[in-house]
Amino acid sequence: MQSLNDHLASYLDRVRSLETKNQKVESKIREHLEKKGPRVRHWGHYFKTIEDLRAQIFANTVDNAHIILQIDNACLAADDFRVKYETELAMHQSAESNIHGLHKVMDDTSIEALKEELLFMKKNHEEEVKGLQAQIASSGLTVEVDAPKSQDLAKIMADIWAQYDELVWKN
């Protein structure tokens, strides 16, 4: 925009310079005609044409300045939209990344994994109980255990499921 303003200023300076030179030439012509004698021509009808041309030049210069201003405004608006687009794109990519991460967390803590872990724990528990029973049977000892009632695994699974649902809703 500064470049266009500089060009416009340069153009206006040039027009002013030409006007000044034109006035000097006109005064020299008048002086020459006055020195030459009574043979003076009347140039008055040309001055009206010159003034009309000057008015047209000035009007065209103003129109050019308006067009340049509109172009600069359009460039600024385009830059503003580009910055807004880049900002929105970065936010979109960030949101997509967060969603992808949350999907991974959900997959890692899925119920299927919990069920598999529970089955594995049951299997290990049964093997350990059988191993201990075999040791007790081979040792010849008799042991009576007064143990509290065993935990309800279905209730534990329901509690885990409720906690998982709560985490999903929070995330």
Listed residue (95, 118, 121, 127) closest to 164, CA to CA: 118
Average pLDDT over residues 62-68: 95
> Greatest CA separation found in the chain?
157
The pLDDT value given to residue 116: 85
pTM: 0.36
Cα 41 versus chain centre, distance: 71
Between 80 and 30, the more confident residue is 80
Q: CB under 8 Å to 118, separation ≥6 — which residues?
A: 153, 157
Average pLDDT over residues 37-46: 68
Report domain extents, the chain.
2-102, 109-170
Between 4 and 101, the more confident residue is 101
Between 147 and 30, the more confident residue is 30
Distance, CA of 165 to CA of 171 (rounded, Å)? 10
- 91, with CB counted inside 10 A (0-12, 13-18, 19+), is exposed
Of 74-78, 149-153, 158-162, the range with the lowest mean pLDDT is: 149-153
Average pLDDT over residues 90-110: 87
17 in Cβ contact with 73 (< 8 Å): no
User: 55 pLDDT band (50/70/90 cuts)?
Assistant: very high
pLDDT digits (tens, 9 = 90+) for 125-148: 999 999 888 888 787 666 566 666
